[in-house]
Amino acid sequence: MSSLQELRERVWRCNKELPRVGLVVHTFGNVSAIDRQEGVVAIKPSGVLYDDLKVDDIVLVDLDNKVVDGKLRPSSDTKTHTFLYRSFPDVGGIVHTHSTYAVAWAQAMKSIPIMGTTHADLLAADVPCTEAMTDEMIKGDYEEETGRQIVKAFDRLSYKEIPMVLVACHGPFTWGETPEKAVYHSLMLEEVAKMALLTLGINPAAPRLKETLIEKHHSRKHGPDAYYGQEK
Ligand SMILES: [Zn+2]
């Protein structure tokens, strides 16, 4: 099997995972992955129900959004994905969903504050929210501008340390070295979005997590002397 067919299968499997774990309903959401050597991105086709999605429905496009192989039209969000692949060279997979809690924060146009150790295990910072898009951006090349808006939010942030973002008024995009990691980040993002909202519902003045706890939890999982989990 060619490596591009393998990429297709992986992307198909990751897309099927989204409704299974409750991150998408109907046709919302999409997963893509890139073969950097070939410069080819595999992505979900536009408007196909997850139940009906077949491996060969996954569309292959190049980084200029031209279809390389596939019978169907690629996701309408393709230009956002390719913009991110062009801007973030170490990203191997991208996920976009409209998962409820992450969308709630995006619609409120608020970053998700780091409030507890679940969040700190995932990343040592708030989950950033982009600026709202201008009318020109919305009327222009909307999906490409969405990508540009995300990259702008990472002007002073590391996309490797913070593998996720909320697009204001829209929803989350997550990424990772692989599409499987990007799916995992989407799932965890939804959890921390839910936890932060519930926390602030109980106590609107609940504080941000202390730096020592952020550092402790993040470094025991991701630091040079990480000791969380089993040795591989
Ligand atoms: Zn969307």
The most distant pair of C-alpha atoms in the chain lies apart, rounded to whole Å, by: 56
pLDDT digit string, tens, across residues 166-190: 999 999 999 999 999 999 999 999 9
pLDDT at residue 22 is higher than 60: yes
The band of 232, judged by pLDDT with boundaries at 50, 70 and 90, is low
**Strand partners for 60:** 42, 69
Q: What are phi and psi for residue 50, nearest 5 degrees?
A: -60, -35
pTM: 0.94
Q: Which has the higher per-residue pLDDT, 189 or 2?
A: 189
Q: What is the mean pLDDT of residues 160-165?
A: 97
Output the pLDDT for position 224.
Answer: 78
The band of 219, judged by pLDDT with boundaries at 50, 70 and 90, is confident
Cα of 58 to ligand 1 centre, how many Å? 18
Provide the mean pLDDT of the chain: 95
Amino acid in position 194:
K
Cα of 113 to ligand 1 centre, how many Å? 22
- The rounded distance, in Å, linking the Cα atoms of 17 and 218 is 27
Active site residues: 121, 228
pLDDT digit string, tens, across residues 38-59: 999 999 999 999 999 999 999 9
Cα of 173 to ligand 1 centre, how many Å? 9
Q: What is the mean pLDDT of residues 69-87?
A: 97
